[in-house]
Amino acid sequence: MQMDVLELTHRQSLEFTDSQQLFAAWQDAQARVKHYSGSMHWKTIKGKKYLYHMLDGYGKGKSLGVKRDDTQAMYEAFQKGKQETIERLKSIQKALDEKAALNRAVGLNRVPLIVARIARELDKQGLMGERICMVGTHAIYAYEALAGVMVYRELLATADADFLWDNRETVKFSSDADVDGFLPMLKKADRSFERSEQHYRAINKDGFMVDLIVAEPKDLRAQPQEQMGDAYDLKASGIGSLRWLINSPKVEAVVIDSKGYPFRIAVPDPRSFAIHKLWVSKQPNRRADKARRDKQQALTVAKLLMERLPQFPFTAKELKMFPKALVEQSLKELE
């Protein structure tokens, strides 16, 4: 079986490991910054000073009590903790900037920037992995990262990205979220995105396409949510075979964008990816060139699993979301 991959050099492996560790530190610092959100100040009411925690810039806040030793200590701890956290985040960001330059120098910059921006926005909104995962060609970036190799770019070149939304529960954006739908999130990544005539798709000024897809329910009488936002948001396209992927476990990986910066993505279990891609390659309405590419992607990921990722064994138990006959036939072809 042909496997279109390149080994990471020792230097690349070191830089990639460092990038993952820095990203974990950055995530921790970001969480600490959120802990210290808003501000604290003293407010005089009827001659007495009260400590207020202001949660936003619109005057809303919560009284923490009259000024006394414990509220004074709370105030001082908040101010000190917030300043230290901000300085820590700045320091880590500087280290990430330096690491990004090194990643570019050694050729670790991989994922198209537009895809990275979308993934970061989904992560910011708490949807990446929880409600949405990346499927299709771009998922391979996660598998190569887990395996410590680089798949040939020819096998990864594409001008679109597919995001699989688990719409079995309604998406509810928090009151402090600065978006209210999938298209608004895309516009945060690139404001030139607009909904196309195919309402499940958005296209930006460069012609890059993003599809929002869902698993078509078994019971066609079911009416799951099709849009995260209003009537102008993308309307997800339902596809029957995606039930296999939506019911598949998800895996996460830290990958590197084209500018050298790390970010997190969630993708279907690589075994499910390989089985599904192989099945797609055989569909009679699939264009011949796309079918060949689908099959090569399936074979490449399967080879990665067999040779480098033993924690993902091809067993019937792990692939129970697929028809048994399909799994048996696919495993014969993937061996």
pLDDT band, very low/low/confident/very high, at 1 (cuts 50, 70, 90): very low
Q: What does DSSP say about strands 209-215 and 237-239: parallel, antiparallel, or unpaired?
A: parallel
* Range among 43-52, 107-116, 168-177 rated most confident: 107-116
Mean pLDDT along residues 167-189: 83
Which residues are within 8 A (CB) of 128 and not within 5 positions of it... i.e. 6 or more apart?
119, 122, 264, 265, 266
Question: Does residue 152 carry a pLDDT above 60?
Answer: yes
What is d(CA 189, CA 121) in angstroms, rounded to the nearest whole number? Answer: 7
The mean pLDDT value for 311-316 works out to 90
Residue 263's pLDDT is 97
Residue 315: pLDDT above 60?
yes
Read off the pLDDT band of 174 (50, 70, 90): low
Residue 280 has pLDDT above 70, yes or no: yes
Q: Is 136 exposed, middle or buried (0-12, 13-18, 19+ CB in 10 A)?
A: buried
Mean pLDDT of all residues in the chain? 91
Task: Give 151's strand partners.
Answer: 5
Q: Among 111, 158, 156, which residue's Cα sits nearest to residue 297?
A: 156
What is the reported pTM? 0.89
Report the run of H or E that residue 202 belongs to, with start and end.
strand 201-203
What pLDDT, on a 0 to 100 scale, did the predictor assign at position 122? 94
Q: What angle is formed at CA 131 by the lines to CA 130 and CA 137, rounded to 5 degrees?
A: 100
Q: Token pair of 232, please? A: 């102008």
Domain extents in the chain: 10-105, 111-268, 270-335
- Residue 59 reports pLDDT greater than 50: yes
pLDDT of residue 61: 78
172 pLDDT above the threshold of 80: no
Quick one: what percent of the chain has pLDDT higher than 70? 95
pLDDT in tens, 229-244: 889 999 999 998 999 9
Over residues 187-191, the mean pLDDT reads 95
Structure tokens at 87: 């300085």
Residue 293 has pLDDT above 60, yes or no: yes
